């Protein structure tokens, strides 16, 4: 009973979270014109921050909507619940992992412009290495699970 109450609370609080995500997206839409048009040299720190905020909240909106539906289906025992939960990992890839990386890149890139510590090239190499570490971990998981 307590778990169902907490599940209902989580689902209920998902609604304001989604509304706030939409509100943030509407406020930041169009404030980062140089970041996503390929004119990176013209982008200012505010553009990178705004782009990171936009991508981060877009990812959260997508993730929250998916999991809100999955947990709603679970609460009511709808027949497609298991499918939503078992395939939720696929929904997480674009809405969580990819968008978090993109949002973080925007914030780090902005911070580099006001607090130089390393070059843009060094940042891009570091990002590539970090992403590669995720694929290496993926490979290790595959090998240790099925080999």
Domain positions in the chain are 2-116, 119-147
> Over the stretch 67-81, which tens digit does the pLDDT of each residue have?
999 999 999 999 999
Q: What is the pLDDT of residue 69?
A: 97
Low-confidence ranges of the chain (pLDDT < 50): none
Q: Which two tokens stand for residue 144?
A: 């240790």
CA 22-81-63 angle, 5° bins: 25
Q: Which residues contact 123 (CB under 8 A, 6 or more apart)?
A: 108, 109, 112
Contact 123, 106 (CB under 8 A): no
Q: 70, 57, 74, 50: which is closest to 18 by C-alpha?
A: 57
Helix locations, the chain, DSSP H: 2-28, 45-76, 81-86, 88-92, 99-114, 120-146
Alpha carbons 20 and 57: distance in angstroms, whole number: 9
Q: What is the pLDDT of residue 59?
A: 97
Contact 79, 40 (CB under 8 A): no
Q: What is the pLDDT of residue 54?
A: 95
């Amino acid at each position: 009973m307590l778990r169902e109450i907490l599940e209902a609370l989580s689902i209920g609080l998902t609604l304001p979270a989604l509304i706030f995500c939409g509100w943030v997206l509407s406020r930041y839409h169009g404030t980062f014109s140089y970041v996503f048009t390929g004119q990176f040299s013209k982008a200012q720190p505010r553009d990178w921050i705004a782009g990171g905020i936009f991508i981060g909240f877009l990812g959260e909106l997508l993730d929250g909507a998916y999991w809100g539906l999955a947990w709603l289906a679970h609460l009511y025992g709808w027949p497609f619940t298991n499918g939503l939960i078992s395939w939720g990992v696929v929904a997480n890839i674009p809405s969580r992992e990819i968008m978090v990386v993109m949002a973080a890149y925007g914030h780090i890139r902005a911070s580099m412009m006001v607090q130089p510590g390393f070059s843009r090239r060094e940042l891009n190499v570091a990002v590539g290495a970090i992403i590669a570490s995720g694929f290496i971990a993926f490979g290790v998981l595959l090998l240790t699970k099925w080999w």
